[in-house]
Homo-oligomer: A and B are copies of this chain.
Amino acid sequence: MARLSKENKATRPTRAPTRRVARAADRSAPRRRTNDTPYHHGDLHEALLKAAERVLERDGLAGLTLRAVAREAGVSHAAPTHHFGDLTGLLSELAAIGFRQFGQAMAAADASAATTPEKGVASAKAYVAYAQAHPGMYGLMFRSERLDHERPSLHEASEASFAGLTRGVGASRHEQISKESLSLDQAAAIASAWSLVHGFTMLLLDGRLKTILDRSPEGTSVEALLTAMLRLSAGRLARP
């Protein structure tokens, strides 16, 4: 296992000015710059986001640190700062990407279903499926405390996926839902659909549904439980 180079902890007393030269060993593992690794990366912004996604799905939210991402991308630990400002910046941009993927997955499910009620079920299943396929990303999007939802890219992406949800609920109710104002009934239908599927997903990712699945009939899968749940609440979205 590659030893991660310990990161220099010099003592405070007045150090000799500059003259750094060679420094004896200087055996630091992390990316010694050579001629084939240019000083300027080219598109580090993009590379860092890709690296971050790899780290996230490999090591989870807890492993997603600025320094780990820099290591994964093969640059110095401070390089990300220049592109994202701080950790919140990087996480927010990555979450925005997640929301876009997420919104596309839901839209695709909606498009592939034939009838209106089927669209709702398909979207809900796509919602849960995305979270199961990208648990790290979903956790980042909905669990992380270090996101800046005011950031334009993130705000826009999450608003877009929310708009998709709103449209879906509107279709289920056979009515046009305005972007500006909602009736209490409409608001409740939207909140209900979102809460149900988001709550289910969070409980699932946290392993808390195991308690229920273990007591369910032999061989009941997550999908089966979700399907049964959606059937139970089938009438919930339809207009009275």
Q: Is A197 an interface residue (CB 8 A)?
A: yes
Name which of A68-76, A112-120, A204-212 contacts chain B.
A204-212
Q: What 0/1 readout, one digit per residue, does chain A (183-194) give for beta carbons within 8 Å of chain B?
A: 111011111101
Q: Is A111 an interface residue (CB 8 A)?
A: no
A191 adjacent to B212 (CB under 8 Å): yes
Chain A interface: which size bin?
A: 35 or more
Interface of A is mostly: helix
Name which of A38-46, A48-56, A214-222 contacts chain B.
A214-222
Q: Is A195 an interface residue (CB 8 A)?
A: yes
Residues of B within 8 A of A179 (CB): 215
User: Which residues of A204-240 have CB atoms within 8 Å of chain B's CB atoms?
Assistant: 206-207, 209, 211-213, 215-217, 220, 224-225, 228-229, 231-233, 235-236
B149 adjacent to A207 (CB under 8 Å): yes
Residues of B within 8 A of A209 (CB): 191
Besides A3-B11, A143-B143, 8 more A-B contacts (Cβ < 8 Å) are: A14-B25, A182-B216, A183-B217, A187-B220, A189-B232, A194-B199, A195-B198, A199-B200
